[in-house]
C-alpha cells in the first residue's frame, strides 16, 4: 500500500497491528477487532492462519476501518467481507500459479483444500448475482439467494482479471479500490461505493480504460445504474416555419424542439441529439443540438432548434419519419452533501 502512494496523511495501517493466533480461545472463527486493531485466528480442520487468504482477508477488515473509522451500517457488512476476499484473491492472482490454480477460490486451503475444509469457502466469480438496491446486505447474509459477500467481490475481481488481460496492472486496480474508500462515512450501500470507485478510476487514470471496465462490471450486476435518456412521446414542438399558417407545409423550412427525459438513477451530462430522416421529402439543415444536463427524473428540450426543409413535391398531408439518436455521459462523482459522505458515527 505504501508503494501505491498511501503514505503520510493517507497511510493505511501505517503501524503495528496486534495478532492473536489463538483467537476466541481457538474456536474456528477468525476475526478483526476494530476497537483494538487486533487480528485473531482460530483453529478447526486446519489452523486458519495456515491459509494466507484468511490472513489477508482479516487484514482487509483492518484496511477498511483504518481508512474509514465510521465503516458501519448499510451494506458495509457485505462490502467488508467481499473486499477482504478480493484483497486475498488479488494477491493470490499475482503469485506464480495464481492464474492457474483455482483463481476463483477464496480460502483455497481452509475452505477448499481437499480433505481439510470445514466449510465450502467462497467464490470470487459470482458475476451472475444481481444487486437489489432496496435490500441491505449484511456480513455473510443472503438476499434472495445472493450472498452479499460474493456479490461485492465479483465485480472487483472481474475488473482485476480483465485489466490484467488488457495489459494493465494489479497495482492500478488495487490503488483505485483503496482510493475509493477515502472520505466516506457510515451507512454505505454497494451502489454508493461503486460510484466512488468509478470516479476514483477516472481521476487516477483519466486516459486509461480503468473507469470503463469498472463501470461495465458493476453494471453487469446492477450495482450501478446509469442514466437512461429517451425522447418523450408526443413531445415534438414546431417552433418556427416559413409560412404563416402555423403548420409545416411542403416547401417550407421548419424548426423543432424535442423533449427528452432521464428515467435512470444518475445525472446525465453532455447530452447530445442527432436528428436524421430516411424520407425522400426531408432535408436536414441542422441535425445536431445539445440538451441541458438532466438530473434524475428531469426533462429538457434541445438548446438550439433542429431545422429541416420539406420538399415542395411532398404530398400535402403525408407524414415523415424522423429519428433522434441521443448520446450522454453519466455523472457519478460524489460531492459533499450526500448523506453518506457528510455524516458522523453516533
Question: pLDDT confidence of 336, banded at 50, 70, 90?
Answer: very low
The proportion of the chain whose per-residue pLDDT surpasses 70, expressed as a percent, equals 93
User: At CA 38, angle to CA 34 and CA 40, rounded to 5?
Assistant: 115
Q: Rounded distance, CA 41 to CA 29, Å?
A: 7
User: Per CATH, the architecture of 229-331 is what?
Assistant: Sandwich (2.60)
CB neighbours of 278 closer than 8 A, spacing ≥ 6?
A: 321, 323
Q: Rounded distance, CA 98 to CA 345, Å?
A: 39
Per residue in 27-41, pLDDT tens? 778 999 999 999 999
Question: pLDDT confidence of 337, banded at 50, 70, 90?
Answer: very low
CATH 2.60.40.10: which residues of the chain? 229-331
Measured from the Cβ of residue 212, the count of other Cβ atoms closer than 10 Å reads 12
Q: What is the mean pLDDT of residues 91-117?
A: 86
Q: Rounded distance, CA 243 to CA 7, Å?
A: 70
Tell me which of 274 and 265 has the higher pLDDT. 274
What is the residue-wise DSSP string for 231-286? EPTT--EEEEESSSSSS--TT-EEEEE-EEEE-SSSEEEEEEEEEEE--TTEEEEE
Q: Rounded distance, CA 104 to CA 181, Å?
A: 24
Q: Rounded distance, CA 48 to CA 109, Å?
A: 9
**Three cell numbers written together for 208:** 486509461
Cα torsion for 244, 246, 248, 251, to the nearest 10°?
Answer: 0
Q: What is the pLDDT of residue 332?
A: 56
Q: Rounded distance, CA 250 to CA 313, Å?
A: 7
For the cut 60, the answer to whether the pLDDT of residue 346 exceeds it is no
Report pTM: 0.74
Per residue in 30-84, pLDDT tens? 999 999 999 999 887 788 888 999 999 999 999 999 999 999 999 999 999 999 9
Amino acid at each position: 500500500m505504501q508503494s501505491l502512494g498511501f503514505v503520510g496523511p493517507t497511510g493505511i495501517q501505517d503501524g503495528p497491528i496486534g495478532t492473536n493466533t489463538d483467537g476466541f480461545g481457538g474456536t474456528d472463527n477468525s476475526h478483526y477487532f476494530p476497537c483494538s486493531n487486533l487480528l485473531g485466528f482460530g483453529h478447526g480442520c486446519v489452523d486458519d492462519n495456515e491459509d494466507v487468504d484468511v490472513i489477508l482477508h482479516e487484514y482487509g477488515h483492518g484496511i477498511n476501518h483504518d481508512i474509514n473509522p465510521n465503516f458501519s451500517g448499510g451494506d458495509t457488512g457485505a462490502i467488508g467481507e467481499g473486499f477482504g476476499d478480493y484483497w486475498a484473491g488479488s494477491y493470490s492472482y499475482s503469485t506464480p500459479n495464481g492464474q492457474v490454480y483455482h483463481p476463483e477460490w477464496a480460502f483455497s486451503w481452509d475452505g477448499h483444500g481437499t480433505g481439510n475444509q470445514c466449510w465450502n469457502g467462497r467464490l470470487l466469480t459470482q458475476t451472475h448475482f444481481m444487486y437489489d438496491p432496496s435490500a441491505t446486505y449484511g456480513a455473510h447474509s443472503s438476499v434472495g439467494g445472493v450472498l452479499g459477500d460474493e456479490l461485492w467481490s465479483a465485480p472487483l475481481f472481474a475488473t482485476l482479471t480483465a485489466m490484467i488481460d488488457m495489459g494493465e496492472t494489479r497495482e492500478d486496480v488495487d490503488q483505485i479500490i483503496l482510493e475509493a474508500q477515502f472520505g466516506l462515512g457510515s451507512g454505505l450501500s454497494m451502489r454508493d461505493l461503486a460510484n466512488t470507485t468509478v470516479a476514483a478510476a477516472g481521476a487516477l487514470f483519466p486516459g486509461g480504460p480503468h473507469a470503463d471496465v469498472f463501470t461495465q462490471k458493476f453494471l453487469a450486476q446492477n450495482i450501478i445504474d446509469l442514466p437512461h435518456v429517451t425522447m418523450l412521446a408526443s413531445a415534438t414542438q414546431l417552433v418556427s416555419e416559413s409560412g404563416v399558417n402555423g403548420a409545416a407545409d411542403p416547401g417550407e423550412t421548419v424548426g423543432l424542439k424535442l423533449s427528452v427525459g432521464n428515467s435512470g438513477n444518475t445525472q446525465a451530462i453532455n447530452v447530445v441529439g442527432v436528428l436524421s430522416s430516411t424520407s425522400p421529402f426531408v432535408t436536414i439543415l441542422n441535425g445536431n443540438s445539445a440538451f441541458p444536463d438532466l438530473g434524475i427524473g428531469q426533462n429538457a428540450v434541445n438548446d438550439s432548434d433542429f431545422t429541416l426543409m420539406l420538399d415542395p413535391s411532398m404530398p400535402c398531408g403525408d407524414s415523415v419519419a424522423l429519428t433522434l439518436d441521443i448520446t450522454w455521459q453519466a455523472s457519478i462523482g460524489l460531492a459533499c452533501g450526500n448523506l453518506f459522505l457528510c455524516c458522523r458515527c453516533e
